Structure formats: structure tokens, C-alpha cells
């Protein structure tokens, strides 16, 4: 149910969107080179009146595109909703929806679902998030597939402005685990992100993003991803304010 790709440039978008949020709206133009050729990426987003939205289109080397869009809205104090969809090159769509509620100071619960084309096959997700203190957040989630199989994921982010670390463990229905470790380092105008994903048999993928710029002018970024057999793919682009 989840569309997966090797879009290393996406990491740069996640890293920089919060930084250019002062502008109220942002755009992104870039791409990456994969095993089958060049993929172009166009994205934009913004926030207004308690609601934030984002859309992204990835166009492959043969002209086919995949578009994903979503909106998060604050419906009441401590309550949020999410709606979104992903549409493939033949028009088939996956729809998503979810809610999150603050249950106590620093405590949140959330649940959501994703449904495939023509209403078939629904995947559900539910979990909790805990803010343990400044710069320290943990989450726990369970994903249940259309036939009842479940997977779990635990994540933790900790650190302080300028340096954060990220650790997660995902466990599948048969006990296989995938781990991810990463860190961000930043000074004014310069940002770095590094991460390693390790599969159940020890193979790993390394990712790196570097970016430079300012909130007023935007950011130029470069990204790379190296697989377990040494193949490296490169991407880059610009995140800019509106």
C-alpha cells in the first residue's frame, strides 16, 4: 500500500521545508538519477488558517508521473486531521486519512488508514507519540494489513538545535527487522543529513544530503544514496519561498 522509491532528494525537502516555513509557502524543483534514468521532482506547500498542505509530482524517464498530495488541519485545540492521496500514471489512486489527539501534556495518540484503488485492500495504522522533553520525542506504531498481518515501528528523535539524532526499528509480521539511524547537523545557512538503513540480512543503504542558503532566498541541495553493492545515485535541486 505504500509507494516506495529511491528518491534521495526527498530527504532534502523534509530537511528544509520547516526552515522556509517563515515564508508561508514554499516550492521545490529538482530530481535524481536512478538505475533507469532521470526522475524530475516538483513540489509545493504552505500553511494558512490552521491548515498545511503539500503536493509533489515525480516524473520518470519515460514521462510517467506519480502525484502525492495531502493536508493536515487543526480542527480544535489538541486535535488534528489528515487527508491525502497518491495517484499513479494510469489514474489509480491510494487514499489516506487519519486523526491525532493530544491526550495529556506531551502525549498524543493517532490512527489512520490507506485504501487502494477501487476501494480494495485497506491498511490501518495506530500509535502514540510522547514528547519527553525539549528535543526528545518517541513514537510507537502498529500497522495492520488487509489480511490481518501486523508490523510495528519504534522511533526516537533526540538532540538540541544544530544537532539531532534519529533511530528507528521496524519489525515485520515474521519477526524480520529493519533499522535506521541518522543525524542532522546545521549552522546558519548550512545543513547536513546522514542516515543508514540496515535490512534483516545486514545489507545497508547510506544516504546523505547537503544544503546551503537562507530562508529569504531559498536553499540549493545535493543528495546521494549508496546501496549495499556500491551503486550510488545522485540528486539535487532547490527549495524556495513564495
The pLDDT value recorded for residue 49 is 87
The domain locations on the chain are 11-241
- The set of cell numbers assigned to 233 is 545515485
Name residues of the chain where pLDDT drops below 50: 1-23
Distance CA 3, CA 85 (A): 11
Distance CA 189, CA 219 (A): 8
Distance CA 100, CA 184 (A): 26
The pLDDT value recorded for residue 242 is 75
pTM of the model: 0.81
- Residue 80 Cα to chain centre, angstroms: 18
The pLDDT value recorded for residue 92 is 92
The pLDDT value recorded for residue 16 is 43
Please, what sign has the CA dihedral across residues 145, 150, 151, 157?
A: positive
Distance CA 118, CA 106 (A): 38
User: How many secondary structure helices (H) and strands (E) does the chain include?
Assistant: 1, 16
The pLDDT value recorded for residue 119 is 83
The pLDDT value recorded for residue 21 is 43
The pLDDT value recorded for residue 9 is 36
Give CATH for domain 11-241: 2.40.160.10
Please, what sign has the CA dihedral across residues 73, 75, 81, 85?
A: negative
The pLDDT value recorded for residue 217 is 87
Amino acid at each position: 500500500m505504500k509507494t516506495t522509491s529511491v528518491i534521495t532528494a526527498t530527504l532534502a525537502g523534509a530537511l528544509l521545508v520547516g526552515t522556509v516555513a517563515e515564508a508561508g509557502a514554499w516550492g521545490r524543483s529538482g530530481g535524481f538519477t536512478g538505475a533507469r534514468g532521470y526522475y524530475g521532482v516538483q513540489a509545493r506547500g504552505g500553511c494558512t488558517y490552521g491548515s498545511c498542505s503539500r503536493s509533489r509530482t515525480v516524473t520518470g524517464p519515460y514521462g510517467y508521473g506519480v502525484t502525492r498530495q495531502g493536508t493536515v488541519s487543526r480542527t480544535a485545540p489538541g486535535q488534528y486531521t489528515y487527508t491525502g492521496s497518491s495517484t499513479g500514471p494510469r489514474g489509480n489512486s491510494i487514499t489516506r486519512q487519519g486523526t491525532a489527539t493530544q491526550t495529556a501534556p506531551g502525549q498524543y495518540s493517532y490512527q489512520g488508514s490507506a485504501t487502494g484503488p477501487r476501494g480494495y485492500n485497506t491498511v490501518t495504522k495506530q500509535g502514540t507519540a510522547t514528547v519527553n522533553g525539549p528535543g526528545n520525542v518517541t513514537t510507537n506504531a502498529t500497522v495492520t494489513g488487509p489480511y490481518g498481518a501486523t508490523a510495528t515501528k519504534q522511533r526516537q528523535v533526540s538532540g538540541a538545535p544544530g544537532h539531532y539524532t534519529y533511530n528507528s526499528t521496524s519489525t515485520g509480521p515474521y519477526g524480520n527487522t529493519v533499522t535506521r539511524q541518522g543525524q542532522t547537523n546545521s549552522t546558519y545557512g548550512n545543513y547536513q543529513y546522514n542516515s543508514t538503513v540496515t535490512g534483516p540480512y545486514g545489507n545497508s543503504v547510506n544516504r546523505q544530503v547537503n544544503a546551503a542558503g537562507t530562508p529569504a532566498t531559498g536553499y540549493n541541495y545535493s543528495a546521494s544514496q549508496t546501496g549495499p553493492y556500491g551503486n550510488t545515485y545522485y540528486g539535487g535541486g532547490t527549495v524556495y519561498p513564495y
